[in-house]
């Protein structure tokens, strides 16, 4: 079973390689380095003899904006993405974050099913949000009650 932990600077080259294999508009190593430095950001990796997947979000006030979720191509559909996202949600709840949002390509049925399985609900559409190819994004939210200290 994969070990999930906070992403560290040493993970960036491997994460950026996976990013390039997964997305048509991939983040650079520099983008990941800046994201890790950003106050309130939360980035996780799943590892077992190397990085198997990763996810991350920015936190603004009491909301989180998920901007990365990826699993190695040969491991998709086995629940690792759900484990990563569930752990991110757990940590965010622990930090008092009660609303989490993300955008996902309308055609990405597997990702939509994953997000719905952990409580996200589609609440709108961003027209032509994605490039290469141009496509609308579903805006999804998960709102969770947290105990305020």
Give the tens place of pLDDT for each residue, 49-80: 999 999 999 999 899 999 999 999 999 999 99
Instruction: Output the 3-class SS for 8-47.
Output: CHHHHHHHHHHHHHHCCCCCCHHHHHHHHHCCCCEEEEEE
Would you say the pTM of this structure is higher than 0.85? yes
The sign one gets for the Cα dihedral 78, 67, 104, 120 is positive
For the segment 92-118, what is each residue's pLDDT rounded down to a tens digit? 999 999 899 999 999 999 999 999 999
**Any idea which residues carry the catalytic annotation?**
103, 115
Q: Which domains does the chain have, with CATH numbers?
A: 3-103 (3.40.630.30)
């Amino acid at each position: 079973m994969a070990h999930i932990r906070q992403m560290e600077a040493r993970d960036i080259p491997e994460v950026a390689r996976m990013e390039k294999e997964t997305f048509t508009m991939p983040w650079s190593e520099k983008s990941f380095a800046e994201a890790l430095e950003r106050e309130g950001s939360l980035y996780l990796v799943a590892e077992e003899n190397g990085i198997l997947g990763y996810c991350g979000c920015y936190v603004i006030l009491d909301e989180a904006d998920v901007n990365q979720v990826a699993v190695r191509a040969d491991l998709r559909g086995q629940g690792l993405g759900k484990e990563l996202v569930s752990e991110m949600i757990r940590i965010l709840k622990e930090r008092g974050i009660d609303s989490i949002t993300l955008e996902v390509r309308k055609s990405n049925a597997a990702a939509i099913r994953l997000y719905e399985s952990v409580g996200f609900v589609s609440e709108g559409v961003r027209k032509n949000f994605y490039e290469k190819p141009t496509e609308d994004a579903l805006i999804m939210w998960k709102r969770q009650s947290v105990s305020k200290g």
